[in-house]
Structure 1
């Protein structure tokens, strides 16, 4: 029943494959905030322990990793996944939603042709229950080692349920990251194939094609939900305007610390030299590709630039056109 901090949570909730993991780790360098640790949320409910309990945290981490490393095939899969989505001590809060059954992976591997990401997200998933559970779980973590300023969360899954997220966290501060879709789509396909590699024979072209089709449907639904939320005329968006900030992948890659500084200025969060030094240290210790690199192209997944530009024209014009990117940058700086 302990109250959550009055600020935030600060939520990174852009499309998958748009730099969210980098941004999440940099934002987590703020000693006054708290992001869930992998050891907090990778298993079902266990009593929370303090972040400063290094012995207890290591014991839990070792227990989580040991069975994975004993299975050679699974360990190889983890290496492939890490090349696309690196593993860090902190983890996205999607793991909390998974405890409540909000697990979209099965829609990618199911043989049921009617089991599409869109139908599952819109019709089958009990999002009220999932977010009720999410808040209860976060409050449980908050009873031990409550952050001085705010909680930090990250998951593209929140895109599907902004209404439920804001119902439970009305003070949420939303960071939406955007990247060129001719990079997002093949990167998503590459990560998806690595993630579901244990569940199908890679030489089976029928299974592969179905999984790639559903991956693209998943991105379709992400963009559909995001556009619906951001173009709504019901008055809610106007009230939330100062609670939403758009960030482009290109700007994040060019000046990651500068972008974090802009975020803190925009949301009036406390910036410190300690945080900046921690971010610089993190960047030095975690160069891009440290845990492996993955390469991809549009052609290998049956995608092409023209179709992408036509299919997602509204999203591209709103968030990725040069004019809008300039206006976003100006509004952030002002």
Structure 2
């Protein structure tokens, strides 16, 4: 008990954490992996959060990490055997060594998947999930868990976290991490919605009958509810948080894909974080080794889920105006004519 109390008394880094949130399917995983290339930061490993996370282990304990990976692989194989077909989820969301801290929230009981398997007419679980006034317990657990991870291999500069669901509970998040820096990722919703529907479809294939004509409309309803709630919270937060502009940085998907290293450099400039040559080289290496489509591709259209561009344009006009107007999309082109900031040596 004394050892546990000492662990909790150890301070997290004074900087951050740096937290990526925003809508799903907006390039947040891509950005997460780029930011994790900074040797001075630390992002939680998949094996630290999902498989036997207690007690914490050092990153150098390769034998234990491999044991946990093997255990996760066997569980996935068992799931595929029960379903009777291989999972396609990695084409929508490939598994990397680092993972989103949503797994920490899930341990506290905040599980998005539960809202997707309940009948549409039963909204009790959904109402509870989206209620932002009762999630302090989850972030109490989240911070305790991060303290535990911080007891091994603490970062030199800051922790890096990423979970789209954080936008649903921003008040609780910031009350527990008052020095957090937020990065919100944005993308055209006519691309986000069918991609998100497809992602949920793959994740929930064990519960959905692909031949049931009611499955896709049900999935669409749930996906729209989730995206609508997230957009509502994002707009509300930006509207009332003008004074917090220094701790928020908005990133568009188009800018990120077109100018990845420039985008990261602008994030670091905005938050006053230390940039290093080693960081830039590591990002260049990661980009070279992880081209788009490396883990497979999913195909989808708006029509697959009964969506239309006109309806999306009208329904989400406020969000589009705030985050996806043309001046925002062209900002990086004004900053640089290349993929690297002019103040940084070009990587050949």
Same fold judged by TM-score > 0.5? yes
**1:299 partnered with 2:306:** no
Distance 1:90 1:187 in 2: 22
The question of whether the paired residues in 2 share the 8 Å contact of 1:33 and 1:150 is answered with: yes
Distance 2:293 2:19 in 1: 25
Q: Name which of structure 1's ranges 3-12 and 54-63 shifts more when overlaid on structure 2.
A: 54-63
Q: Name which of structure 1's ranges 178-187 and 43-52 shifts more when overlaid on structure 2.
A: 43-52
Structure 1 gap ranges (5+): none
Aligned to 2:208, the other structure's residue is in SS state coil
* Pair 115,44 (structure 1): closer, same or farther in 2 beyond 3 Å: farther
Aligned to 2:19, the other structure's residue is in SS state strand
The question of whether the paired residues in 2 share the 8 Å contact of 1:11 and 1:174 is answered with: yes
The question of whether the paired residues in 2 share the 8 Å contact of 1:118 and 1:217 is answered with: no
Aligned to 2:182, the other structure's residue is in SS state strand
- 1:154 match: 162
The question of whether the paired residues in 2 share the 8 Å contact of 1:11 and 1:173 is answered with: yes
The question of whether the paired residues in 2 share the 8 Å contact of 1:77 and 1:194 is answered with: no
Aligned to 2:22, the other structure's residue is in SS state coil
- 2:39 match: 31
The question of whether the paired residues in 2 share the 8 Å contact of 1:107 and 1:120 is answered with: no
**1:191 partnered with 2:195:** no
- 1:99 match: 107
2:283 counterpart (279, 296, 299):
279
Distance 2:157 2:82 in 1: 38
Aligned to 1:205, the other structure's residue is in SS state coil
- 1:227 match: 235
- Please report the TM-score for the alignment, with normalisation by the length of structure 2: 0.89
- What is the aligned length? 329
**1:214 partnered with 2:218:** no
Structure 2 gap ranges (5+): 1-7, 342-348
1:238 CA displacement: 3.4
1:90 CA displacement: 0.4
- Please report the TM-score for the alignment, with normalisation by the length of structure 1: 0.92
Distance 2:333 2:181 in 1: 18
1:181 counterpart (189, 194, 199):
189
- 2:177 match: 169
1:214 CA displacement: 0.6
1:244 counterpart (241, 244, 248):
248
- 1:127 match: 135
- 2:346 match: none
1:314 counterpart (311, 318, 339):
318
2:270 counterpart (254, 262, 266):
266
Give CA deviations for 1:95-117 in whole Å, capped at 9, x if unaligned: 00000110011111212513278
Q: How does 1:65-104 map to 2 (within 5 A)?
A: 65-73=73-81, 79-104=87-112
Give CA deviations for 1:255-308 in whole Å, capped at 9, x if unaligned: 111111111111111111111111111112111111110111111111111110
Aligned to 2:30, the other structure's residue is in SS state helix
Q: Name which of structure 1's ranges 200-209 and 320-329 shifts more when overlaid on structure 2.
A: 320-329
2:293 counterpart (284, 289, 295):
289
- 2:4 match: none
Question: What's the RMSD between the two structures over aligned residues?
Answer: 2.2
Distance 2:131 2:38 in 1: 38
